Amino acid sequence: MKSKTAQEKLYNRYYRLFIIPMIFLLYYLLSYLVNPFSPYWSSLSSSNLKELLVEGTIMMCNCWLITELSLILARWMDQLIPWEKRPLGRFVVQLCCQLIVVFVVLSILFLLVLPLIFGREVVEPAVTTVEKIDEWQFVFVCVMLSILISAVHTGNYFLKRWKTSMLEASQLKLNAAKLKEIAMQAQLQSLKLQLDPHFMFNNFSTLSALITEDSRTALSFLENLSRVYRYMIINLNNDIITLKEEIKFIQAYIYLIKIRHGDHVDIDIQIPENIMSMGIPPITLQLLIENAIKHNVASGAQPLHIRIYQEGAGTITVSNNIQLISYNIPSTKLGLENIRNRYLILSDHTLEIRKEAGAFLVTLPLLEFKK
């Protein structure tokens, strides 16, 4: 707060250093434009240096006083009658107050200051029409300068409000984007945590059966299961991994499939090397393989064939032959919906699910992977 106040004071100081000399110059410019044939210009041109300095000092003080009072009046009106609430009333009241302020300043100038400097015998009321016109010209120019100062202040006021509103709007958009990102990350984290039960439910039953049937194979199965599970834990904090990493994980995961199903499940991976650096949500392929095995018959007479291959540019497809089991299996409904939701959060793309020629196909868009 202190630094802001110091900055405002510095700004106001430079603001006055700029505007007061400008008002001083504008006074003479407007006076000349209003009446370039006034005798005042002839007398001014014939004045000596001392007279010019006295004249300039008096007018500079006059301009400074009008400027300060106009700015004080405008700031006071900003608090009393803001432009946003009553613009017409503000205009009328401020104009009347400015006229009063200018007449008071000029009255002090004519009745006190000038007689004190030049003596009362020098400062006499205007008697000729030309002198009266010059006096009213002087009053008119001072009023115009006061209005101009208020207009500049008002323009500066609205410019600051506009900048403030733009900054506030930008900040609100930034905060909204941050909140949206936080919400999306929380949702994504929740979706990734759902992977664990979906994976573990299918393997613990196999491990339980192996313990009683073949303890050595059960031990090997458990070791590989721990390796796969460790991979899942490591990638829990990753939103996207390379396709190469996912394929490496799947190849390790195939060992568990072979223990569980033997040759009844055939998994064929045909992915070209040139797309291995593309990204994919972690454990996506494992979910699709589990989904295919869970809902289809896999036996010696009816082996389940699962293929993972590139079907089009920027996509890979996971397909399996459809041979649905004849009874209902309890489902957590986390597989395809989980993958779909993660794609919606991470990108504008989504997976494509279709059935054709007796096969169930899921096409996954490949994402850009950034380290």
Domain at 296, CATH number: 3.30.565.10
Instruction: Compute, in degrees rounded to 10, the torsion defined by CA atoms 118, 122, 124, 127.
Output: -140
268 close to 320: Cβ distance less than 8 angstroms: no
Q: What is the model's pTM?
A: 0.50
332 close to 198: Cβ distance less than 8 angstroms: yes
Phi-psi region of 291 (alpha: psi -120 to 50; beta: other; left: phi over 0): alpha
- Which tokens hold the place of 23? 């008002």
Same domain (yes/no): 181, 210: no
Q: Please state the separation of Cα 311 from the chain's center in Å.
A: 38
Sheet holding 352-356, edge to edge: 265-270, 304-309, 315-321, 359-365, 352-356
Asked if the structure places residue 114 within a domain, the reply is yes
How many Å apart are CA 250 and CA 285, to the nearest integer? 7
Last residue of a domain, one of 122, 157, 186: 186
Q: Which residues contact 73 (CB under 8 A, 6 or more apart)?
A: 94, 97, 98, 101, 150
Same domain (yes/no): 126, 22: yes
Pairing outcome for strands 241-242 and 279-280: antiparallel
Same domain (yes/no): 267, 350: yes
Residue 2 is predicted with a pLDDT of 44
Asked if the structure places residue 192 within a domain, the reply is no
pLDDT by residue for the chain (371 residues), tens only, comes to 444 466 566 556 666 677 778 888 888 888 888 878 777 777 777 778 887 888 788 888 888 888 888 878 888 888 888 877 888 888 888 888 888 888 888 788 777 777 776 665 545 555 566 667 777 777 788 888 888 877 777 777 788 788 888 888 888 787 667 656 655 654 555 555 555 555 566 677 777 777 877 788 888 888 878 877 777 777 767 788 899 999 988 888 888 888 888 889 999 999 999 999 999 988 889 889 988 988 899 998 999 999 999 988 889 999 999 999 877 655 555 578 878 888 888 888 889 999 999 999 999 999 988 76
Task: Give the structural domain span for 313.
Answer: 206-365
Asked if the structure places residue 195 within a domain, the reply is no
Asked if the structure places residue 298 within a domain, the reply is yes
Same domain (yes/no): 177, 210: no
Closest C-alpha among 336, 88, 39 to residue 195: 336
Report the number of distinct structural domains present in the chain: 2
Same domain (yes/no): 302, 179: no
Q: Which residues contact 97 (CB under 8 A, 6 or more apart)?
A: 73, 77
